[in-house]
Amino acid sequence: MTTTSPTPRDSAGRSPAELAALLKQDKLPPVHLWNPAHCGDSQMRIASDGTWFHEGSPVGRKELVKLFSTILRREADGSHVLVTPVEKLDIQVDDAPFIAVEATSAGEGPDRQIIFRLNTDDLVAAGPGHVLRVDTAADGTPRPYLHVRAGLMALVNRAVFYQLADLALAEGATPPGIWSGGAFFPFMPA
């Protein structure tokens, strides 16, 4: 008797095909084209847990965080700014500006596709253009990151990393790691 496993779904009940279709619709402002004069400090900070703060108080409206995240840019010197066609303001980022809070995986081995949902509800498909890397923190623990866009990174939260580690262990790759979008991502720091 042949059994088929059910189609994986994300927490909103969307299939990998539905998530892929949403990825194609994603439209962001062309912040890479905007080069206004630097105007100062935004008085904003993104904490290492992904919480956005303005003047020391958490930004409570998720819609506002999502809006600000669309105009976030990483500069050549590694700093972060909020940029519009007419102004550019510094923003402090404690670790990574995004957190990968969910992963939906379909397929196996080189045919696997993993689509991550960020704390801003953005979707990112890991692959050659969106590299998954694992650094090592000072205390020796793994720090997994996903490239989101133009040098902006997402810290992969612990639960999602454990999910990925389970998939990698089940496949038994050497070195340990995982495939997505035709690319292999080792879990050992380079």
Maximum Cα–Cα distance across the chain: 67
- Same domain (yes/no): 61, 74: yes
| DSSP state at residue 65 | H
- Same domain (yes/no): 114, 165: yes
- Same domain (yes/no): 75, 148: no
Which residue range forms the structural domain that includes residue 65? 31-93
The answer on pLDDT for 52 being more than 60 is yes
- Same domain (yes/no): 133, 77: no
- Same domain (yes/no): 145, 122: yes
- Same domain (yes/no): 101, 175: yes
3-class SS at 178?
Answer: strand
Q: How much is the pLDDT for 177?
A: 94
**Torsion sign, CA atoms 7, 10, 11, 14:** negative
Which CATH number goes with the domain that contains 77? 3.10.540.10
Phi-psi group of 86: left, alpha or beta (phi > 0 → left; psi -120 to 50 → alpha; rest → beta): alpha
**Torsion sign, CA atoms 99, 126, 164, 79:** negative
Q: How much is the pLDDT for 173?
A: 84
Q: State pLDDT tens for residues 88-125.
A: 999 999 999 999 999 999 999 999 999 999 999 999 99
Q: State pLDDT tens for residues 21-33.
A: 555 566 788 999 9
Do the domain assignments include residue 6? no
Which CATH number goes with the domain that contains 175? 2.30.270.10
In the chain, the number of structural domains is 2
> Which of the listed residues 45, 70, 93 is the one where a domain comes to its end?
93
Q: Give CA–CA dist 26/43, Å, rounded.
A: 28
Please name the residues in contact with 44: beta carbons below 8 A apart, sequence gap of 6 or more. 52, 53, 54, 59, 68, 82, 89, 91, 92
> Which of the listed residues 41, 70, 93 is the one where a domain comes to its end?
93
> Which of the listed residues 76, 93, 110 is the one where a domain comes to its end?
93
